[in-house]
Chain A
Amino acid sequence: MATTYTSQAVTDNLLPYSTVLATSGFLQAIQDELSLLAHPAIVDVAGLMPPDFFVGAPTNATFRIPVDMATPLMTSTTETTDVVGPTTIDYSTATISTGAYDIAFGVSDELRRRDAVNGYQVVRIAGKIAQSAQLTVTNLIVALAGSASSSVGTSGSPLTWDIVLEGRDDIVAAGLSAATGPFVAILHPAQWALVRQDLAAATGARAERRELDIAQMSMPVGYQGSYDGIDVYTCDRVALSSGDYTGMVFASGAIGRLLVPPAAAATSEIRVLDLSPVCAVEEVRNAADKSIQLNGQMTVGVSILRQELIRGVVSTGA
Chain B
Amino acid sequence: MTTTRRNLFKFVGGGAAGALLTPAPWRLITDAALWSENWPGIPRPARGEIRARFTHCTLCPAGCAVRARCVNGQPVSLAGVKPHPIGHGALCPWGIAGHHLPYHPARVRQGPVKEAVAAVARAIAQRGAGERVAVLDLRPGRTVSWTYRRAMAAIENGLYLTPGQPAYSIDLAAAKTVVSFGAPLLDGWGTPGNVFAARDHFRLIQIEPVETRTAALADMWLPIRPGTESVLAAALAGETTIAEAARVTGVEEEAVGAVQEAAQSGSAVVLAADPGSPLMSLNAKFGALGRTVVARRESPLPDAWKKAAPVAEMAAAPDGAIRVLLIDESLPGGYVPWSTIEPKLAANAIVVVFSSTSEGYARHAQYVLPAPVYPEAAEDIGPAIDTVAEVFRIAAPLVAPVVPVVKPGEFVAQMAGLPQGDPLRERADAIHKTGRGALLSYADGKSTPAKEVTADDFWKTLNQSGCWMDETGKKAAPSGLGRSVTRLTSHDELPLAVVVAEFNRGGLASPLMSKLERESNLRMAANRVVLSPADARANGIESGGRCLLETACGRMNVVATIDAGVPSGVVEVAGGPRMADLCGASRRARVVRA
Asked whether A and B interact, the reply is: no
| Chain B residues within 8 Å of A, Cβ to Cβ | none
